Amino acid sequence: MIRLRPLLAALLASAFALSAAPAFAATNPWLDRRPLNIAHQGGEDEYPSNTMYAFEQSLRVGADMLELDIGVTKDNEVIVMHDTTVDRVTNGRGLVSSKTLKQIRKLDGAYWFSAGDDAYRHNRPRRAYTFRGVATGKRRPPKGATAADFRVTTLRQVLRAFPRTPINIEIKGRTKKEEVDEYVRNAEVLARLLKDSKRRDLIVVSFKQQAVDRFHQLAPNIPVAPGVDGSAAFLLGGGSPGPGVVAFQLPITYELDGAKLDVTTEANVAKAHAAGYAWHTWLSDDGETPATWTKLLDWCVDGVMTAQPRAFERVLKRHPPPAACRR
């Protein structure tokens, strides 16, 4: 098990102890001086998305926190998977919600991974898929790893494997705007799993505010980040982003009805900080470059959700945030 840097771990541990009640904003442990290197899907450009191998390796190269996504199987097991289908990353096909955990555990979770940008294209030469077959025993695992590290895992297994590593959990569901039922149902299953947890180093988020609200209703001691509606209420109207919120987790830009909106800006980050909230930026649609990362650090973001935790760590070491970011 790989742990946080000792100083960061000590700071977060002491702060989490103060935040056992849902009144997070007064003593928000996520407002830390060092921006968090948050491995998005475990660093999906560098390692196979949302696998145990990715989580282990991303922490080894410098990540401070893991970001993952959850879905719910036919038999109500919470699995770690970015998509609502297994098609993009595994050798299977079909909806997560249509399969049992036993069926999903037979799949190769790294089948379509080939390191680099756009790492899951299905039209590359067979040799490009460097970990294909490890999960199913057709290829030997890398030193120190096992075949199971390349299968689809459950959230329960991840929590058990990384008891002292902060983890960000995104609730997934069908992506059409009008479809919220699956998001809410998945939020309820996740809440049953986490409601008795003593951990306060977790953040739960979803695009759908209804899912965030339902989760918080059922598991009020677990910190959350708002969905689109809660974020808009705060940023556009100055209202509350919702109960239990400790951080905003938003892209640099967001496209709405064909118009590109600037979301992560220096002014918005400062506004969140003034109200007691942290700011974590994800980059899936805005590209990942040292120039972009440097800009975010200069804007005093509290964490960057990166598909490239190894590369981001190098930038973070040579370009720490300006002194003005210290609170």
Residues 287-313: tens digit of each pLDDT: 899 999 999 999 999 999 999 999 999
Q: Pick the more confident residue, 174 or 57.
A: 57
Q: In the chain, what are the domain boundaries?
A: 6-85+155-325
**Cβ-based neighbour number of residue 233 at 10 Å:** 16
What pLDDT does 127 receive? 93
> What CATH topology corresponds to 6-85+155-325?
TIM Barrel (3.20.20)
Q: Which amino acid is at 67?
A: E
pLDDT at 9 over 50: no
Q: What is the pLDDT of residue 6?
A: 43
> What b/e string do you get for 242-279 counting C-beta neighbours within 10 Å, with b at 16 or more?
bbbbbbbbbbbebeeeeeeeebbeeebbebbbeeebbb
Backbone angles phi, psi at 213, to 5 degrees: -65, -40
The structure's pTM equals: 0.91
Integer Cα distance of 301 and 309 in angstroms: 16
**pLDDT score at 177:** 62
C-alpha dihedral over 263, 61, 29, 234, to 10 degrees? 10
pLDDT at 8 > cutoff 70: no
Q: For the residues 184-202, what does the mean pLDDT come to?
A: 96
For residue 327, the model assigns a pLDDT of: 64
Closest by alpha carbon to 246, among 221, 276, 274?
276
3-state secondary structure of 184: helix
Mean pLDDT of 75-81: 97
Q: Is the pLDDT of residue 93 over 60?
A: yes
Q: How does pLDDT run across 213-264, given as a tens digit for each residue?
A: 999 999 999 999 999 999 999 999 889 999 999 999 999 998 877 888 899 9
